[in-house]
Amino acid sequence: MTTDENYKAKRKFERRVPRGDDQERLVCSDCGFIQYENPKVVVGSVVTFGDRILLCRRAIGPRIGYWTLPAGYMELNEDPETGARREAWEEARAAIQIERLLAVYSIPRISQVQLIYRASLAEPSFEAGPESQEVALFDWSEVPWKEIAFPSVHWALGHYRESRDQESFTPFSNPEGETGVY
């Protein structure tokens, strides 16, 4: 999402405490614009068709070629469930039904909050969107565990497995002591 153009411009920023503030911020040394940095929200889902789980093989970095859940940054003026449906469509051309919130993970080092839903497909219709090399349904025993893109994908699959027969549960959070850094 960061283009070269943005990257270049960003280098004019310096860290200082703006007047009237009490924390260091990124301030443009040319024009004084203050870039408030905020945590970003990722919305995604563990999508199933029957007992099988939908995964997408990444066509873009980071972790190109590795498998992930359909997930991505929530957009402006969107609610989280709409965002999770949009991402499943963009990455896997999958029209999903969201069932419930599975987990809220956080990756403080990169200031990311992830809202991961349980969702299902009414029919096994999907194909790779532009950010995926391949999309497939996996039985639990076939999940490519050694080629999973991110720790939080591992967590979400495990938490899905743990709660799949429960109708109502408190959403999971990071496994004890895990920060999501890989």
Residues in contact with its own copies by CB under 8 A are 1-6, 8-10, 12-13, 18-21, 28, 30-41, 73-81, 100-101, 104, 106, 108-109, 111, 113, 115, 168-171, 173-174
Q: Say which entry of its own copies, Zn ion, none residue 15 contacts (CB below 5 to 8 A, set by partner kind).
A: none
Task: Identify the residue among 5, 7, 8, 31 touching Zn ion (CB under 5 A).
Answer: 31
**Interaction between residue 28 and Zn ion (CB under 5 A):** yes
CB of 13 to Zn ion, least distance (A): 8
CB of 104 to its own copies, least distance (A): 6
**Interaction between residue 26 and Zn ion (CB under 5 A):** no
Displacement of CA 23 from its chain's centroid (Å): 28
> How many residues in the shown chain lie near Zn ion by CB under 5 A?
3
CB of 148 to its own copies, least distance (A): 22
For its own copies, which is the closer residue by CB, 88 or 101? Answer: 101
SS (H, E, C) the chain: CCCHHHHHHHCCEEEECCCCCCCCEEEECCCCCEECCCCEEEEEEEEEECCEEEEEEECCCCCCCCEECCEEECCCCCCHHHHHHHHHHHHHCCCEEEEEEEEEEEEHHHCEEEEEEEEEECCCCCCCCCCEEEEEEECHHHCCHHHECCHHHHHHHHHHHHHCCCCCCCCECCCCCCCCCC
For its own copies, which is the closer residue by CB, 1 or 122? Answer: 1
CB of 129 to its own copies, least distance (A): 14
